[in-house]
Structure 1
Amino acid sequence: MNIQKPKDKSQLQIKVCGLTKLNQIHELIDLKVDFLGFIFYEKSPRYVLNHLTLKQIAEIPHFKKVGVFVNKSIKGIVEFASEAQLDIIQLHGDEDEKYIKLLRQMIGESIKIIKVIRIGNQTSDELQNTINKQPTTINYLLFDTDSKAFGGTGKTFNWNILNDVEIPFPYFLSGGISLENIHQLSTINHQPIALDINSKFEIEAGNKDLEKIKEFLSMINK
């Protein structure tokens, strides 16, 4: 597998997750944000279907709409992906190899799959073992901070652990990324293809701070 590694921060892509407001979504499209993230997990304070319909999401003019799911039935994901015209499925639960292979069969090759790996107190060997278990039918990994509940924590894990493992997929970096810690990204040898930002760029859950996001984009694109 040939992986294109960013040569510098200017090549990093940005995913804004937990979107709930159409006016903000359209502003982010104007800002050329690469990935738009919609959370389809009922227990999340950013559960998108409390704010937008599947039809409204389908009508958003963007080609990297990401649906975030947690242990949802494959049939349910397939239905939502079709009705909301999602381009990418992000699996944030305990979905195993059998589940992912069946999902791939159901959605075909055109919809990409991101599998989230939550990082807590495991050793680098344990993390490597988890990475190695991922089926080749996924397209990306996403590393996030572990928590008792599913979903984002707003906290950062120790990024240095990524220097101790082999990562055979392009990956997203998530978990408490902010204006204050982005400079630490240079400590990672194998750079992510994208940064996933959420709670550190909000006024309240689902209500994004667009000025902060603009500042973040300007820092990344320097």
Structure 2
Amino acid sequence: MTKIKICGLMTESDIKAVNQAVPDYAGFIFAEGRHHVELEQVIKLRKLLDPKIISVGVFVDAPINVMLEAVYSGAISIIQLHGNESEKLVDRLKDLDMKVIQVFKLPTNKIIQTHADLLMIDSGSGDGKKLDWSSLLLKPNILAGAIDINNVATAIKQVAPDIIDVSRGVETDNKKDPLKIKQIVNKVHKL
């Protein structure tokens, strides 16, 4: 069964919506941008989040101590590297028993390989651009990039990822939409 991560959570109402839908993962974006959250905020939100839902922290070229603080505080369980982080950093985090997601943005001229626990393919920097799924040369553990209720079944059929990652695809007027979250979580869990 394909799992699903709802990313870009920022508010108590986002957490309430996610708790009602029960996705497998919840993502908090520590990097600068529209969905940016501070650690203190994530600590509070994590306490409200259903304990069955695994929390993920998204970082872009952050210092290692910032990422470790987020894990040790209990705010997150998995570190997602969404910048230009090196394999040396991945190995260092793994040596510290951290679970790591390494993101590769397409198109890329890098050879896609990593020691991270999970490899994620995205269309860019969370800009909502859709990937040409049929052109992927490898099967990522996690697929992201403009996925919503209308194309999630096609994404799963064409790519067969272990996890679908959705953020803007469950928003209305730049806010998380509880109905869209519930619909896509239900659909993914049924596929």
Q: With structure 1 as the length reference, what TM-score do the two structures score?
A: 0.76
For residue 49 of structure 1, what is the aligned residue in structure 2?
Answer: 38
In structure 1, runs of 5+ residues without a counterpart are: 1-10
1:4 is matched with none
Residue segments in structure 2 that go unaligned for 5+ positions in a row: none
Structure 1 residue 12, shift from structure 2 partner:
1.2
In 2, Cα distance between equivalents of 1:181 and 1:55: 33
The residue type paired with residue 159 of structure 1 is W
Q: Which of 104, 111, 117 matches 1:139?
A: 117
TM-score relative to the length of structure 2: 0.87
Kindly report which structure 2 residues correspond to 1:116-195, keeping only aligned pairs within 5 A, or say none. 116-120=103-107, 122=108, 126=109, 130-132=111-113, 134-135=114-115, 138-146=116-124, 151-162=125-136, 164-165=137-138, 167=139, 171-185=141-155, 187-188=157-158, 191-195=160-164
Q: Secondary structure at the match of 2:80?
A: strand
- AA of the residue aligned to 2:44: Q
Decide which structure has the larger Cα Rg and report it.
Answer: 1
Matched, 1:80 2:70: yes
2:87 maps to: 97
Deviations 1:115-152 (A, max 9, x none): 001012x5xxx5xx6223x12xx110111003xxxx30
Q: CA deviation at 1:57?
A: 3.5
Q: Distance in 2 between matches of 1:197 and 1:58?
A: 19
What's the CA shift for 1:161? Answer: 2.2
1:93–1:116 CA contact under 8 A, matched in 2: yes
Equivalents in 2 of 1:144, 1:174: separation in Å?
A: 5
Query: Partners of 1:84 and 1:92 in 2: how far apart?
Result: 21
Q: 1:55 to 1:73 in 2, by over 3 A?
A: same
Q: Aligned partners of 2:155 and 2:93: how far apart in 1?
A: 33
Give identity over the alignment, percent: 28
Contact 1:58 1:83 in 2 (8 A): no
Matched, 1:113 2:105: no
- Give the 3 Å change call, closer, same or farther, for CA 27–210 of structure 1 in structure 2: closer
Letter in 2 for 1:142: M
Which deviations, in whole Å up to 9, do the C-alpha atoms of 1:145-193 show, x marking residues without a partner? 03xxxx301111111122x33x4xx6111000012222322552x5101
User: Alpha carbon RMSD of aligned pairs, Å?
Assistant: 2.2
Residue 219 of structure 1 deviates from its aligned partner by 2.7
